[in-house]
Amino acid sequence: MDYTGLIQMLLEDMESPAPFGAKRILTFVNPRHYESFQHTLQELKALHPEWPDLPSSHLLKTVMTPLSGSGKYLDPYKNDILIEEDSLVKVHMLTNKANQGPGIPYGVKQIQAPKAWSISTGYRIKIGVIDTGADFYHPDLRQSLAKGINLLNRHMLPFDDNGHGTHIAGTIAAANGTEGMIGVAPRATIYPVKAFDHNGSAYVSDIIQGIDWCIRNKMNLINMSFGMKTRSKALLDIVTKAYVSGISIIASSGNEGKRRNIDYPAKYPQTISIGATDRNRRIASFSNRGEFIDIYAPGDKIISSWTHGKYHEMSGTSMATSHVSGAIALLLAQNPDLQPAEIKALLQQTATPLKNKKGQRRSSEGLEVNALKLLKEGMKKKPPKP
């Protein structure tokens, strides 16, 4: 393969502007071709330090290039490189209004998290939150945030310029009970992975780089409160790599109120897919539902942290997802060896059946996470000490 020729064509293509940051995702069929490509690129960059970086996922053997021009120059390589065009991804949020610090929010209480804190607070569990970033100065998050990464500007901390990522982080791990709020797992550590811009938009190529970072930096679980309608093979491949490496991916199902379908990546069986409930333990009107949902959690009118040290009330399956991520963090702090399939099974075995329209509890309606039961049952699976 003519690596030098391919690199020069890719760089020439980068000079013509791409629409809105969309990219082509180029996956090398043969891993050795990818290694040779990267080796040639580094040699050429040593001679031309002004050349721009080509984002890549070493785990997938993938390079991302701006989606500009026709891409005809890639035709000679079509047997050696799989080409996928980027798809737009949006965070899953609906209503949004300012509020006061809630202490322990109703959702945290509804899933029985405070009753679990005498056993576990999620200590040292690493949670990758692929989102809009986080407010590093928020008094409720100061103890809960690690450096993470900003995929949109790698020279900056992943500061949140939207609010969604800060809201998710608060529900998972806020730790300021005296004046602000407490999340589900207040001693877990959140690694913000900023892939989404100020509008709450990202591309599949950004998500792939985010999951790649989470795997290489040994996260215990990944919160993905976003979705899209289109299926992406490259996204499925990196989700599978996370799953095989023992990382649970908690993914929101979407807010269209659909009965028979949910968004990707939650639709992939390697994730734990989340629907939303309200204060009455009924499925929230906006939540997607049905056979593709693994578990439900509170997602209606959830108050959590927001940018500039504030608090906002929001609704969405995004909010439900952060409750489940926190519950899993409580469990993993006590039994870190549990695999994603075991965690999914435990979530469902220990969940609270939802109420139907008549107020009767029926597991056929769906199941809501119960953090206390999950923790107690999961600790029974701990291997005995030698």
- The residues annotated with a catalytic role in the active site are 131, 164, 318
The residue among 222, 231, 277, 230 whose CA lies nearest residue 251 is 222
Within 8 A by CB and 6+ apart from 297, the residues are 107, 111, 274, 275, 276, 277, 320, 321, 323, 324, 327, 368, 369
Given a contact cutoff of 8 angstroms between Cβ atoms, the answer to whether 10 and 51 are in contact is no
Torsion of CA 114, 119, 124, 129, to 10 degrees: -40
The answer to whether 221 and 247 are in contact (CB under 8 A) is: yes
Rounded to 5 degrees, φ, ψ at 88 are -80, 140
The structure tokens 């095989």 sit at: 244
Residue 382, SS3 per DSSP:
coil
Q: Which helix (H) or strand (E) holds 276?
A: strand 272-277
Which pairs with CB-CB distance under 8 Å and at least 24 residues apart come from 2-9?
3/36, 3/37, 3/40, 3/41, 4/40, 4/44, 6/37, 6/77, 7/37, 7/40, 7/41, 7/44, 9/73
Helix (H) or strand (E) holding 319: helix 317-334
